[in-house]
């Protein structure tokens, strides 16, 4: 729809007077009076249109800036949530996942050596007693704040669809990780209530099951941590590309000192389990 043309009352009266002068003059047009008056009216008319255009442009610029500031505020809120989840996952890895995996793996290695010469039912529990507390330690779980990026960051879908999709993978890994912890606790509870005196075989079979759970834990938590790290950098890049002209809410992340240690230990555990080869191309770019 073309923009409307606005004429002030004074401009309208001037143009009307010129037309009236032309129609009423008996001997033709009075060029000496009409031309300067007409030029003045036209200049006034175009000046008003220029002023109106500048005002409209200023209003649109203000509206665009307010929209961008609102978007950047939303990105900042998601960034803060990501930072919390990132640190929560790191601490869960160092406190719950890595000790559990190390204990179950070492216990299985000892049992494997003993079974070469002794039936499993006759292997004394003392063989693996030092690892029992960590193998059968119930997990308090992990608290992660859910992020609905397809709703909260929908304005990024057109240009950064891959980033928004990555949030979907994070939510999937988060749900899986919570389920894995629940499975760990369920197996431990079943062993505890299976009888007042579970047999050696019951305990050893449960250690094998706990090791399988531990393998899933290290794979899942590693991918979760790395995706959080990638998304934090993605949002920083988006802020620089789209919103760097805004003064507010400059995004930055300070990695916890323990992050590098956790990363290296998880990679080492994945290598021991033969899982790293399938993952390294995705997480070492």
pLDDT tens digit sequence for 245-265: 887 667 888 888 899 999 999
Confidence of residue 270 (pLDDT cuts 50, 70, 90): very high
Burial call 21-44: b when 16+ CB within 10 Å, e when fewer: eeeeeeeeeeeeebeebbeebeeb
C-beta of residue 226 within 8 angstroms of C-beta of residue 234: no
C-beta of residue 153 within 8 angstroms of C-beta of residue 164: yes
Which pLDDT value is given to residue 198?
Answer: 75
Structure tokens at 147: 């992020």
Q: How far is CA 147 from the centre of its chain?
A: 7
Query: CA-to-CA distance for 136 and 225, rounded, in angstroms?
Result: 24
* Percent of the chain at pLDDT exceeding 70: 76
Which pLDDT value is given to residue 78?
Answer: 95
Handedness of CA 159, 160, 165, 171 (dihedral sign): negative
Which pLDDT value is given to residue 114?
Answer: 87
Residue-wise pLDDT for 1-42, tens only, equals 455 555 566 666 666 666 566 555 545 545 555 556 556 656
Nearest to 237 by CA among 227, 254, 250, 226: 250
Which pLDDT value is given to residue 281?
Answer: 83
What H or E segment, with its residue span, contains residue 231? helix 200-242
* Number of Cβ within a 10 Å radius of residue 113: 12
Q: Please tell me which residue, 139 or 33, carries the higher pLDDT value.
A: 139
- Range from 52-61, 91-100, 170-179, 225-234 carrying the lowest mean pLDDT: 52-61
Nearest to 130 by CA among 107, 102, 157: 107
Residue-wise pLDDT for 144-165, tens only, equals 999 999 999 999 999 999 999 9
Q: Would the pLDDT of 45 be above 70?
A: no
Q: Would the pLDDT of 86 be above 80?
A: yes
DSSP annotation of 251: -
C-beta of residue 59 within 8 angstroms of C-beta of residue 231: no
Which pLDDT value is given to residue 51?
Answer: 67
Q: Would the pLDDT of 61 be above 90?
A: no
Question: For 51-64, what is the mean pLDDT?
Answer: 67
Which pLDDT value is given to residue 191?
Answer: 79
Which pLDDT value is given to residue 152?
Answer: 93
Structure tokens at 158: 């057109």
C-beta of residue 97 within 8 angstroms of C-beta of residue 218: yes
Query: CA-to-CA distance for 205 and 186, rounded, in angstroms?
Result: 15
Which pLDDT value is given to residue 162?
Answer: 95
List alpha helices for 93-128, DSSP H: 98-114
Nearest to 147 by CA among 34, 224, 200, 218: 224
Query: CA-to-CA distance for 214 and 19, rounded, in angstroms?
Result: 92
| SS3 of residue 243 by DSSP | coil
* Number of Cβ within a 10 Å radius of residue 114: 17
Q: Would the pLDDT of 117 be above 70?
A: yes
């Amino acid at each position: 729809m073309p923009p409307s043309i606005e004429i002030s009352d004074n401009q309208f009266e001037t143009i009307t007077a010129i037309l009236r002068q032309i129609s009423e003059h008996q001997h033709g047009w009075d060029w000496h009076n009409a031309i300067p008056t007409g030029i003045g009216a036209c200049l006034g008319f175009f000046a008003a249109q220029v002023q109106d255009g500048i005002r409209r442009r200023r209003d649109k610029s203000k509206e665009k800036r307010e929209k961008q500031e609102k978007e950047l505020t939303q990105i900042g809120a998601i960034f803060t949530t990501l930072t919390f989840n990132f640190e929560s996952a790191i601490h869960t890895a160092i406190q719950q996942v890595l000790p559990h995996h190390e204990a179950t793996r070492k216990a299985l290695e000892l049992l494997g050596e003993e079974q070469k010469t002794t039936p499993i039912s006759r292997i004394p529990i003392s063989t693996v007693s030092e690892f029992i507390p960590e193998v059968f330690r119930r997990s308090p779980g992990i608290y992660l704040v859910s992020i609905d990026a397809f709703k909260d960051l929908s304005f990024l879908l057109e240009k950064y669809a891959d980033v928004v999709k990555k949030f979907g993978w994070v939510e999937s890994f988060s749900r899986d990780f919570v389920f894995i912890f629940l499975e760990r606790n369920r197996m431990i509870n079943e062993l505890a209530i299976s009888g007042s005196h579970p047999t050696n075989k019951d305990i050893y079979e449960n250690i094998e099951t706990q090791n399988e759970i531990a393998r899933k834990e290290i794979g899942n938590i590693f991918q979760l941590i790395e995706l959080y790290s990638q998304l934090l950098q993605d949002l920083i890049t988006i802020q620089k590309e789209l919103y760097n002209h805004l003064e507010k809410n400059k995004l930055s992340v300070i990695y916890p000192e323990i992050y590098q240690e956790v990363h290296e230990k998880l990679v080492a555990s994945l290598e021991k389990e033969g899982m790293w080869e399938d993952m390294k191309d995705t997480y070492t770019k």
